[in-house]
Chains A and B, each alone.
Chain A
Amino acid sequence: MKISGIKYLANQGIENIWKNKMMAFATFCVLLISLLLVGISILFYFNMNSMILGLGNQNEIAVYVETDTPQERVDEIHEQIKNIENIDTVTYISKKEAYERMQKQISQGKEIFEYIDDYQFMPDGFSVTVVNNDQLRATVDAITRIENIQSADSSPQVAEFLRELRRVVTLVAGAAIIALAVVSMIMISNTTKASVYSRREEIQIMKYVGATDSFIRTPFFVEGLVTGFFSGAGAFFITWAVYRSVYNVVVAQGMLINAFGAGSIIPFAEIRIPCGLAYLLIGSLVGAFGSVISTRKHLDV
């Protein structure tokens, strides 16, 4: 095929959008809505996930070193913990700090402290957070195995609960996203089918004059590609606007709901590029192949 031939077919595809503007607009809208539904659901899921992970990170491991461990050994232990897999942060808590913490926690029993003014009885300790809360138990075990560690406590129930929560959220969100994707596919397929159906005679005539299937399909491909690209772009800008306003509202309330992990909401800037690319790519591909697949039935003459 000559370059002029390819240019002709590409031009035909673009002209066809204009010539069939009603159907092209319908396809554009259906694609846009589908992309938005699925896209926003996925972003919602990502944020839920990120929030739960954020909660998990607040779930720290309290590590206590045996009393009477020399300071050099404590520093060594600090390094050893750092080198364990899955460790996010390790904060050293000196005897004094531990003492003050305890004072705060047992606020009602202030009188006790009047008798204990020496914090030397407190052990040195570390506050450790992990990267992946799901592996909390393994990490705790690893820390316990280090010499001179008296105890490493975490609340496995919280970790367990959060893991369970994430599993449920993933299942529910996954099912919802799959359902939305399926419904979208059906809507898109019906729209492109209707669009192609209205031009079936044209396709038949082309077959009669000896056009090959790929010759007939190429303009349909280009047409779907361009329509899908614009749907993707539209969906991206709408998502951007919606996401930003929701993000601002939530962050403004941040202090109140930090407890729910709202601090872990993903800022849009972080996902702008992958999100935009995904929208454009999926929009274009679904548009193009939806259109091409719908021609198949009519090509058999």
Chain B
Amino acid sequence: MVELQNVSVTYSGGVDALNNVSLKINDGDFAFVVGSSGAGKSTMIKLLLKEIDATSGNVIVNGYNLGKLKKRKIPEFRRTLGFVFQDFRLIPSMTVYENIAFVLRVLDAPLKYIRKRVPYVIGLVGLHAKTNSYPDELSGGEKQRVAIARALVNDPQLIIADEPTGNIDPELSYEIVELLKGINDQGTTILMVTHEHDLVRHFGGRIINITNGEIVYDEVVTGTNCDLLPEVELAQAMENAANLHHEYSMPDGDIEENDIPYVDDVIAAITSTAKENGGAEK
């Protein structure tokens, strides 16, 4: 479970990356985090990994209150989650097997368990043939599958992914998200930052939009419905929609939970986006 309570982050340069953000992601959720560049998405991810600390507010992840977490407890905390990053972050001097096994080594897992578990997760991501390859010998998609295998090998409660599809072919992106969805079906909470709105549209789920360090949109959307939307950047539309909310300062909870998602807003936004950019922005 992830919970942010009135969290703000101000970088030393004076940039307010997050501004009084509150958010709760329940166990078993699959949430996409979208938003324009520089909106504060990675900042949120860094908070959740305790790479940085909140300037104010509470960050609670898997039962650990990160602001109060002692330095020597950080490793213990990090073992309760998995991470996947755009740049894969595999150890170049280790084979696929060793990279994944390393997580279990850190846990001091019995050798017998490691020898069974690692091939199993390598099988899950379909990389049996590459077990003894080094990261340099793999394609981007393969590397990311290794990263996913590593993220799930210790059966974490939560997997955090910051643009996991950012460095791989768009077609492969679906495969990667499919994989994460499968893991989510087993009960693991997944939080994924992405720029690829096609993906969000295709899969649906909980969508959180961060703009200028604030959550401006947070709804559950059905994937298939989205297929019907016109070929306009969905997130861009949502962002604009959110901005509309902003401008008219719509009170929270104005849209009912199971309403057909944001129809009016989306249409309004689409038209405005279409007008501004001829429908082909970015």
Chain A: CB-nearest residue to B91 = A202
Contact in complex: B89, A210 (CB < 8 Å)? no
- Interface residue stretch chosen among A2-10, A26-34, A56-64, A272-280: A2-10
CB distance from B151 to the nearest CB of A (A): 9
Q: Is A209 an interface residue (CB 8 A)?
A: yes
Interface of A is mostly: helix
Q: Is B145 an interface residue (CB 8 A)?
A: no
Instruction: Compute how far the CA of A2 lies from the CA of B79 in the bound complex, rounded to whole angstroms.
Output: 18
Q: Is B96 an interface residue (CB 8 A)?
A: no
Instruction: Compute how far the CA of A204 lies from the CA of B72 in the bound complex, rounded to whole angstroms.
Output: 16
Q: Is B186 an interface residue (CB 8 A)?
A: no
Q: Is B247 an interface residue (CB 8 A)?
A: no
Instruction: Compute how far the CA of A206 lies from the CA of B89 in the bound complex, rounded to whole angstroms.
Output: 10
Chain B: CB-nearest residue to A203 = B91
Q: Which residues of A contact B102 (CB under 8 A)?
A: 206, 209, 211
Contact in complex: B106, A215 (CB < 8 Å)? yes
0 or 1 for each of B73-86: is its CB under 8 Å from A? (1 = yes)? 00111110001000
- Interface core residue of B76, B83, B108 (most chain A CB under 10 Å): B108
Q: Is B105 an interface residue (CB 8 A)?
A: yes
0 or 1 for each of A188-226: is its CB under 8 Å from B? (1 = yes)? 000000000001011011111111100100000000000
Residue of A19, A209, A215 touching B78 (CB-CB under 8 A): A209
Q: Is A256 an interface residue (CB 8 A)?
A: no
0 or 1 for each of A1-44: is its CB under 8 Å from B? (1 = yes)? 11011001000000010011000000000000000000000000
Q: A2-B108, A5-B105, A215-B106 are in contact. Are A210 and B92 (CB under 8 A)?
A: no
Contact in complex: B150, A209 (CB < 8 Å)? yes
Residue of A4, A202, A210 touching B79 (CB-CB under 8 A): A210
Q: A208-B83, A209-B106, A210-B106 are in contact. Are A201 and B75 (CB under 8 A)?
A: no
Instruction: Compute how far the CA of A199 lies from the CA of B110 in the bound complex, rounded to whole angstroms.
Output: 27
Q: Is A301 an interface residue (CB 8 A)?
A: yes
CB distance from B104 to the nearest CB of A (A): 10
CB distance from A118 to the nearest CB of B (A): 94
Interface size on A, residues (CB 8 A): 22
Instruction: Compute how far the CA of A4 lies from the CA of B111 in the bound complex, rounded to whole angstroms.
Output: 8
Q: Which residues of A contact B111 (CB under 8 A)?
A: 4
- Interface core residue of B75, B76, B90, B150 (most chain A CB under 10 Å): B75
Q: Which residues of A contact B139 (CB under 8 A)?
A: none
Chain B: CB-nearest residue to A4 = B111
CB distance from B85 to the nearest CB of A (A): 9
CB distance from A76 to the nearest CB of B (A): 75
Instruction: Compute how far the CA of A270 lies from the CA of B201 in the bound complex, rounded to whole angstroms.
Output: 82
Contact in complex: B108, A1 (CB < 8 Å)? yes
Q: Which of B44-102 contact A (CB under 8 A)?
A: 49, 51, 72, 75-79, 83, 89-93, 102
Chain B: CB-nearest residue to A300 = B71
CB distance from A202 to the nearest CB of B (A): 5
Chain A: CB-nearest residue to B77 = A210
Q: A202-B91, A205-B91, A209-B106 are in contact. Are A301 and B51 (CB under 8 A)?
A: yes
Instruction: Compute how far the CA of A208 lies from the CA of B88 in the bound complex, rounded to whole angstroms.
Output: 12
Q: A4-B111, A301-B51 are in contact. Are A211 and B106 (CB under 8 A)?
A: yes
Instruction: Compute how far the CA of A201 lies from the CA of B91 in the bound complex, rounded to whole angstroms.
Output: 8
Contact in complex: A208, B106 (CB < 8 Å)? no
Instruction: Compute how far the CA of A16 lies from the CA of B110 in the bound complex, rounded to whole angstroms.
Output: 23
Contact in complex: B89, A8 (CB < 8 Å)? no
Instruction: Compute how far the CA of A94 lies from the CA of B92 in the bound complex, rounded to whole angstroms.
Output: 85
Contact in complex: A208, B93 (CB < 8 Å)? no
Contact in complex: B89, A205 (CB < 8 Å)? yes
Instruction: Compute how far the CA of A254 lies from the CA of B30 in the bound complex, rounded to whole angstroms.
Output: 88
- Interface core residue of B83, B92, B93, B150 (most chain A CB under 10 Å): B93
Q: Which residues of A contact B108 (CB under 8 A)?
A: 1-2, 5
0 or 1 for each of B212-248: is its CB under 8 Å from A? (1 = yes)? 0000000000000000000000000000000000000
Q: Which residues of A contact B49 (CB under 8 A)?
A: 208
Q: Which residues of B contact A210 (CB under 8 A)?
A: 75-79, 103, 106-107
Instruction: Compute how far the CA of A212 lies from the CA of B70 in the bound complex, rounded to whole angstroms.
Output: 13
Chain A: CB-nearest residue to B81 = A210
Chain A: CB-nearest residue to B153 = A209
A sample of 4 more A-B contacts (CB under 8 A), given A4-B111, A205-B89, is A205-B90, A209-B106, A210-B79, A215-B106
- List 22 A–B pairs whose Cβ atoms lie within 8 Å, in order of A's numbering: A1-B108, A5-B108, A8-B105, A16-B93, A199-B93, A204-B89, A205-B89, A205-B90, A206-B91, A206-B106, A207-B75, A208-B78, A209-B78, A209-B102, A209-B103, A209-B106, A210-B79, A210-B106, A211-B75, A212-B72, A215-B75, A215-B106
Closest 5 CB pairs between A and B? A210-B79, A210-B78, A210-B75, A211-B106, A19-B93
Q: Which residues of A approach B to under 8 Å, CB–CB?
A: 1-2, 4-5, 8, 16, 19-20, 199, 201-202, 204-212, 215, 301
